[in-house]
Amino acid sequence: MMLLGFVYLWTGAKAREESQQMVQCIGNDIDELEEECEVIILGDMNLHIEDTDGYTDPTGRMLMDMRETHDLIICNSTEKCEGQITWEVGRLQSTIDYAI
């Protein structure tokens, strides 16, 4: 069996609180279901991690903590991932969409 989750993490004034609640909820779901199925999480996470953007923001730290706790793989950070840029405006580029 496979658990496929789609995630959108907010930006803006209440983003950190909302994102923290969402990441906690995802972690709880993984705790409950990881023995029974494979877990795949996809989404617009509006976060930054060192591997893809050169720095880690607070929401990115939440993702990294969840990755460590649940032994997850961030596919964007693997050699199999072709093209890491998922957001671009003018000269600005970033990776905000992730597959885990």
For the chain, how many structural domains are there in total? 1
Each residue of 78-92: pLDDT tens digit? 777 776 777 777 887
Residue numbers of the domain that contains 53:
2-99
Task: Return all residues near 62 (Cβ < 8 A) that are at least 6 apart.
Answer: 19, 20, 23, 47
63 vs 23: CA distance, rounded Å: 7
Which pTM was predicted?
A: 0.79
Half-sphere exposure of 37 (CA within 13 A, CB side): 12
Each residue of 9-49: pLDDT tens digit? 888 777 888 888 988 998 999 999 888 888 899 888 888 88
CATH code, 39: 3.60.10.10
